[in-house]
Structure 1
Amino acid sequence: MTDRTETFAKVAAEIEPFNKKGISLTDATTFAGDLEWDSLTVMDFVAAVEDAFDITITMNMQAEIETVGQLVDAVEKLKA
């Protein structure tokens, strides 16, 4: 398993408690459109991801991240 695949799996595990509709996740899954998250859910989720990976996601980065794949790529960069 590649590092990115492991990161995707870990991100997916963090999404699970917030995935009320049971959406099947891909790199193209959007947080606002597909998962229908509001800003409070996003903030709770970002905090969970930051804790899980021991990273900090800036507000500027958050504004640019719209899909699960973009988040996985950002986490990969921040872990490096």
Structure 2
Amino acid sequence: MSDRQQTLAKVLEMIAPFNKKGVDVGEATRFAQDLEWDSLTVLDFVANIEDEFDVIISMNMQAEIETVGQLVDALGKLKA
């Protein structure tokens, strides 16, 4: 399994507790539109991601990340 696949698997695992609507989550899933997360949920999730992957996701980067796939790609760049 590639690093990207491992990261995706972990991100999907971490989304599960926040997926209150039971949405089928994939790389194209959008946080705001598909999962219907509010800003507080996003902050909680980002904090968990930062702790798990030992990275800092800037506010500018957060603003650009709309989908699960974009988050996985961003984490790949931050960990490199």
Category of TM-score, reference length = shorter chain: over 0.9
Alignment partner, residue 61 of structure 1: 61
User: 1:1-80 to 2 correspondence within 5 Å?
Assistant: 1-80=1-80
User: Segments of 4+ in structure 1 off by > 4 A?
Assistant: none
Which segments of 5 or more consecutive residues in structure 2 lack a partner in the other structure? none
Q: Which amino acid aligns with 2:21?
A: K
Paired-residue identity, %: 70
- The root-mean-square deviation of aligned C-alpha atoms, in Å, is 0.6
User: C-alpha offsets along residues 28-58 of structure 1, whole Å, 9 cap, x if unaligned?
Assistant: 1000010000000000000000001000000
Q: Normalising by structure 1, what TM-score? A: 0.97
* 1:13 CA drift (Å): 1.1
2:25 aligns to what SS in structure 1? coil
Which segments of 5 or more consecutive residues in structure 1 lack a partner in the other structure? none
Distance 2:12 2:74 in 1: 14
Q: Normalising by structure 2, what TM-score? A: 0.97
Question: How many equivalent pairs are there?
Answer: 80
